[in-house]
Amino acid sequence: MVDVGHKDATSRVAIATGTVFFSNEQPLKLILENNNKKGDVISTARIAGIMAAKRTSDIIPLCHPIPISKVAVEITIQSPVEDSKDGDRYGSLRIRASVKCTGPTGVEMEALTAVTGACLTVYDMCKAVDKAVAIEDTRLLYKAGGVSGDYVHESFRDECEQRLKETGKVF
């Protein structure tokens, strides 16, 4: 483990995203109707993401346990796109996790683990009706705090600027 004992505790924020793509119309139909045999996919995935963020140091070797002060997992239903070449022909779920703490190390791994946990939960709950569920585009969108400074992924730049303009903060 890297020694972070000498580092000052500062406010840290990270936002990550990932997308679950479906290969047929059945999973999205069941999700929209809240009729999946395993239960409410959206709520279960949201809780799984929060739990995953809190357990990141148990999952990722050499990752520091940190005092997370806030985790938010948002799941957005993306409608099917006719003639889609990017895999969204049958719809998808976009998952975004935001994590905040005050500490000597960042929360990027917690945000990415939250997204991954939520995506895997959707997969598990939908695999009975769609064996070809795909989890793609998992990435860090934003991080703030620490010595290395801020990072904004190009796909998040406009939204980040809009949030800062409207509220003075990203998360």
Residues labelled catalytic: 124
Kindly state the tokens that stand for 78: 């993306």
- Which of 124, 135, 131, 128 lies closest to 93 in space, CA to CA? 135
Contact 68, 100 (CB under 8 A): yes
Contact 161, 142 (CB under 8 A): no
Q: How far is CA 104 from CA 7, 8, 9, 65, 75, in A?
A: 5, 5, 4, 11, 29
